[in-house]
Amino acid sequence: MKPTLRIISLFICIILCCISYACVDDVDFDQADEIRITPRVDADLIFFTIEAVDFVEEELPDANFTVRDTTRLEFLNDEFVRENLKEIEFLFQIDNTFEQSLINRSVFLNNAGVPQYTIEFEVAPSTDGTPTQTSFTDTLDDEELAAIRSSIQLANELILMSNEAPIDGELSLQSKAIYSLEFGDF
């Protein structure tokens, strides 16, 4: 064997020795299937402030007053959200100086306007014209999430329960939602 070939053979042997010595141990790449990313996104939802003039008298026997508005929330119907949403927690906070109690009703609707899920709670009246704060939390389970996944609009309605006191004051609503997502199957 020529010296040059001998050198090459020697180095090939060294490289082969390194390769055979080198190994990857104590690892399990199948665990990649178990990887789950679970972010929790905390985001504002809707907000508003209304006064007495905003209420419209309903033609109802108990002479209640209502305000109602609707917005699209297209991210709820987004494929990414629908597939990965695991939990939603809604939080509403209302400051009320009306001396009447109110009902806040947030209705999630599908694209055809059909209600899918409703959050309803009573807003405490003010006793002396100073703000009374009402908080309400709703955490949705799996069955309720299915309703949210098919929703794309949110209608918010406030019903003022009239009494002897004059209808005067201001109401501010703040709301947010914490979306718990889970991604896997990378």
Positions touching other proteins (CB under 8 A) are 3-4, 6-8, 10-11, 14-15, 18, 21-29, 31-32, 34-50, 54, 56, 67-74, 91, 93, 109, 113, 153, 156, 172, 174-176, 178-179, 181
Q: Which of 74, 67, 88 is nearest to 173 (CA)?
A: 67
Residues 6+ apart with CB under 8 A from 122: 101, 102, 103, 104, 134
Decide whether 54 or 58 has the Cβ nearer to other proteins.
54
Report the alpha-carbon distance of residue 172 to residue 46 in Å, rounded.
11
- Smallest gap from residue 98 Cβ to other proteins (A): 15
Contacts of 56 (CB under 8 A, 6+ apart): 65, 66, 67
Q: How far is the CB of 153 from other proteins (least distance, A)?
A: 6
Of 43 and 59, the one with the shorter C-beta distance to other proteins is: 43
Least distance between other proteins and beta carbon 3 (Å): 4
Minimum distance from residue 145 beta carbon to other proteins (Å): 17
Which residue, 93 or 162, is less far from other proteins as judged by CB?
93
CA–CA gap between residue 16 and residue 7 (Å, rounded)? 14
How far apart CA 10 and CA 12 sit, in angstroms, is 5
Comparing CB distances to other proteins, the nearer of 123 and 164 is 123
